[in-house]
Amino acid sequence: MGELPEVLELVLGNQIYIAKEGLHPALRNRLLRLAAFQNPEFYKAQAMRLSTYGKPRVIACAEDHPHHIGLPRGCLDDVCATLTDLRIRIAMRDERHAGRPLQVRFEGELRPEQETAAEALLAHDTGVLAATTAFGKTVVAAWLIARRSVNTLVLVHRRQLLDQWIERLSTFLGVPAKAIGRIGGGRSRPNGQIDVAIIQSLVREGVVDDRVGEYGHVIIDECHHLSAPGFEQVARQVKARYVLGLSATVARKDGHHPIIFMQCGPVRHRVDAKTQAARRPFDHFVIVQPTAFQPTREAVPDKRVEFQSLYQQLIDDERRSRRICEDVTESVRGGRSPLVLTERNDHLERLEQGLAPSIPHLVALRAGMGRKQRQAIADRLAAIPPEEGRVILATGKYVGEGFDDPRLDTLFLTLPVSWRGTVAQYAGRLHRLYDGKREVRIYDYADLHVPMLARMFDRRCRCYEAIGYTVRLPASAILGWPADVPLPSDPLWKRDYSGSVKRLVRDGVDFPLASLFLHAARTVPSEAEGADRARSASEAFLYRRLETLPETKGRFRLNVPLPIAFDLNLDWLKDRPQEVRLFRLTGSVTRNIIVHDPLVRMSRHRGTFPQPSGGPVQEHRAGGEA
């Protein structure tokens, strides 16, 4: 790398500034690479043989100034680690804005998991809180505002979120709502103490408002949007000593999430979705509703065009929409409070027409609604008595972020999505605590006759399980499996036996074989004893009967491995990691079976043949007691 400086000065402000003078080109390039990453969108388009025009191969977030290079301040830890590895001493000059004193007091109480998150964030000047919806990220942020006690700017990207932040900060900091400044939504009344701003209002024609640099503490809500160029421009001008990012989904579908960490710092605390789900006082279920949808148009080579065509055909399917409306109506009659989500406004209108005759309190939320319209709807929802049924019908873009209604306990996902961040955001609408809420449900309409939509359903199922939901999968959700033989929904069972189910479906399975398979695959608790270890009522009856006979009492155990080994030469097992269980037999184990797998036919030699699990089984002949 050539001759390196003994000391390198870092100027920490809105960026990390490093003077070019005396900086070796190789070292400069190495530092610049810390603020760059490969663009997944470029390689995705290239793999699909689509145009890569306008998609850079590498996304660089550093800036090249006449006399300095500027790196995002979130790269500070990486810069320091790199210089330390090269044995270069660091001279740090801190020019961040310390902020003006702020006199507020936190008037709430943190839950134990919120205290853990708050303390982890307080230990660092910058960082991201990655926590599930309904964790209470706003409450944690209010606590940090009170502890850091410097003037604060909260950045949001929607008017709805701006109103919510003002309401929450007023509640938890004891500050009148009118005393909290706002920028955006048709108003510009900052007070320089606690301000909430719509981030789009701070940049005009590429020029960022200078007021962004006048705060000592900046909080960026839904910080996963920072990869948008306009949002990133604003974040680059933040000079505050403290920067906090909040998000439920820090991973982005386009792979641009490194920008979040470059501007806000690394994730300082992450809340596990499954752990959080287990702490909630209600159960989480997904009810899979397989549909009979069949596309009426031919597939096209361009998958994006095909997907949009499928969406339109799903919207136009009257039978599918009618079934959704019937399920929603039945849910309301059962005392539940559903949220019906779609991705298209025209689909929303169709569902609204189908639900209106049977649902007296039907509220439709659409994009583009003004503040007065939203307030009127909020007042209308608040006026509906708890004992009366109601349905909220909305587009996912409208309620995906920032929509709060604790009464919601049921979600109808009417059009397919697959990105885990979207699934988590939608499911999070149900997770607010509410008196009497004991179970939340997601109704997933799975269009399994279309390969593309079936793959999207498989990805959704993985997302559901990752956030703590139990998927109730009817047999009709697996093409080829007998509908009268329901499959267990236990995740461990599915992990162990999903491959076997697929092989049975591939080879052809009928009702008796499916029933026999479930009988053999039933998990027996290790602590169970006696008849409790039976896999079926007939096994339990037979065991109890044998226990009543003097000559057989105590001589049988149900569904346990027999730890009996043969006195044989097992040298052929030395290099095999698989576990092989050997049993004492009466009579003989023969190989007079029909083996269709070519691998098995080729591998059957010297009395051994492989099993689907990978473990070899050896043929033996032995005698003795049963």
Q: Is the pLDDT of residue 200 over 50?
A: yes
Phi–psi pair at 296, nearest 5 degrees: -100, -10
The answer to whether residue 39 is domain-embedded is yes
Among 234, 13, 239, 242, residue whose Cα is nearest residue 149 = 242
CA distance 225 to 229: 9
Are residues 262 and 285 located together in one domain of the fold? Answer: no
Which positions ≥6 away from 339 have C-beta within 8 Å? 391, 392, 394, 399, 405, 408, 410, 411, 412, 429, 430
Given this model, what pLDDT does residue 246 score?
A: 95
Residues in Cβ contact with 300 at an 8 Å cutoff, skipping those fewer than 6 apart: 306, 309
Say yes or no: 161 and 305 in one domain.
Answer: no
Q: Which amino acid is at 489?
A: S
Confidence of residue 591 (pLDDT cuts 50, 70, 90): very low
Which residues, listed in sequence order, are joined to residue 283 by a DSSP beta bridge?
Answer: 439
What is the reported pLDDT for 272? 87
pLDDT tier at 562, thresholds 50, 70, 90: low
Side chain identity, residue 67: H
Q: Are residues 328 and 452 in the same domain?
A: yes
Q: Give the residue-averaged pLDDT of 124-140.
A: 93
User: What is d(CA 265, CA 259) in angstroms, rounded to the nearest whole number?
Assistant: 9
Mean predicted confidence (pLDDT) in 588-600:
39
Render pLDDT for 378-410 as a digit per residue (tens, 0 to 9). Answer: 888 888 888 888 999 998 877 766 677 889 999
- Mean residue pLDDT of the chain comes to 84
CA 435 to chain CA mean position, Å: 26
In a domain, 200, yes or no: yes
- pLDDT tens sequence across 251-290: 888 889 999 999 999 999 999 888 888 888 999 999 999 8
Read off the pLDDT of each residue in 219-237 and give the average, rounded to a whole number.
Answer: 92
Measured distance CA(221)–CA(395) in Å, rounded: 21
Name the burial class of residue 600, with classes exposed (0-12), middle (13-18) and buried (19+) by CB atoms within 10 angstroms of its CB: middle
171 token code pair: 């509640």
Q: Of 64-73, 174-183, 485-494, which gets the smallest average pLDDT?
A: 485-494
Pick the residue with more confidence: 344 or 543? 344
Answer yes or no: do 150 and 190 share one domain: yes
Percentage with pLDDT > 70 across the chain: 86
Q: What's the whole-number mean pLDDT along residues 602-618? A: 43
Per-residue model confidence (pLDDT) at position 159: 86
pLDDT at 337 over 90: yes
> Within a 13 Å sphere around the CA of 157, how many CA atoms are in the beta-carbon half?
20
Q: Which of 437, 454, 472 is the endpoint of a domain?
A: 472
Residues 308, 248 share a domain: no
CB atoms within 10 A of CB 91: 10
Average of per-residue pLDDT across 314-335: 94
Per-residue model confidence (pLDDT) at position 626: 32
* Residue 109: pLDDT over 50: yes
Within a domain: 318:
yes
| Lowest mean pLDDT across 38-52, 117-131, 347-361, 513-527 | 513-527
At residue 131, what are phi and psi to the nearest 5 degrees? Answer: -140, 150
Q: Which residue has the higher pLDDT, 25 or 398?
A: 25
In a domain, residue 152? The reply is yes
Q: Give the pLDDT confidence score for residue 575 in this predicted structure.
A: 52
Last residue within a domain, chosen from 472, 493, 521: 472
Residue that is last in its domain, among 94, 129, 158: 94
Going by C-alpha positions, the residue among 63, 443, 124 that lies closest to residue 291 is 443
Residues 324 and 420 in one domain: yes
**Contact of 118 with 140, CB cutoff 8 Å:** yes
The reply to whether 373 and 450 lie within a common domain is: yes
Other beta carbons within 10 angstroms of residue 508's beta carbon come to: 8
Residue 569 above 60 pLDDT? no
Q: What is the dihedral of CA 29, 31, 33, 34, to 10 degrees?
A: 180
> Which of 194-203, 370-379, 431-440, 531-540 shows the lowest mean pLDDT across its residues?
531-540
Residue 561, pLDDT score:
66
Residues 409 and 465 both lie in one domain: yes
- The domain spanning residue 19 has which CATH number? 3.30.780
Contacts 24+ apart (CB under 8 A), 573-576: 573/616, 576/615, 576/616
CB 358 within 8 A of CB 337: no
Residues 87 and 165 in one domain: no
Mean pLDDT, residues 233-260 taken together: 92
Q: Check residue 401 and give its pLDDT.
A: 60
pLDDT tens-digit map of 508-555: 888 888 888 887 777 666 677 887 777 667 777 788 888 888 888 888
pLDDT top residue among 513 and 591? 513
Does residue 186 sit in the same domain as residue 68? no
Question: What integer pLDDT is reported at residue 196 of this predicted model?
Answer: 96
Average pLDDT on 447-461 reads 90
pLDDT above 50 (res 123): yes
> What CATH number does residue 441 fall under?
3.40.50.300
Residue 612 confidence (pLDDT) above 90: no
What digits encode the pLDDT tens for the residues 84-98?
Answer: 999 999 999 999 999
Residues 260, 396 within the same domain? no
d(CA 145, CA 122): 10
Query: Is the distance from CB of 14 to CB of 239 less than 8 angstroms?
Result: yes
599 in a structural domain:
no
Phi, psi dihedral angles at 284 (to 5 degrees): -125, 120
Is 295 a member of any domain? yes
Residue 503, domain member (yes or no): no
- Residue 404 to residues 104, 133, 393, 478, Cα–Cα distance (Å): 26, 10, 14, 35
Look at 587 and 544; give whichever has higher pLDDT: 544
Highest mean pLDDT among 44-53, 71-80, 292-301, 384-393: 71-80
pLDDT (0 to 100) of residue 495: 74
pLDDT band at 624 (very low <50, low <70, confident <90, very high): very low
What pLDDT is recorded for position 601? 42
- Nearest in space to 155 (alpha carbons), one of 120, 201, 111, 188: 201
Same domain membership, residue 378 and residue 448: yes
How many structural domains compose the chain? 3
Mean pLDDT of 419-445: 91
Global pTM value:
0.73
Torsion of Cα atoms, 320 then 326 then 327 then 328, to 10°: 110
Q: Which pLDDT belongs to residue 563?
A: 57
User: Using CB atoms within 10 A of its CB, is residue 610 exposed (0-12), middle (13-18) or buried (19+)?
Assistant: middle
Q: Cα angle vertex 314, ends 313, 318, to 5°?
A: 95
Read off the tokens for 194.
Answer: 């606690």
- pLDDT of 128 higher than 80: yes
Domain boundaries, position 340: 277-472
Is 478 domain-assigned? no
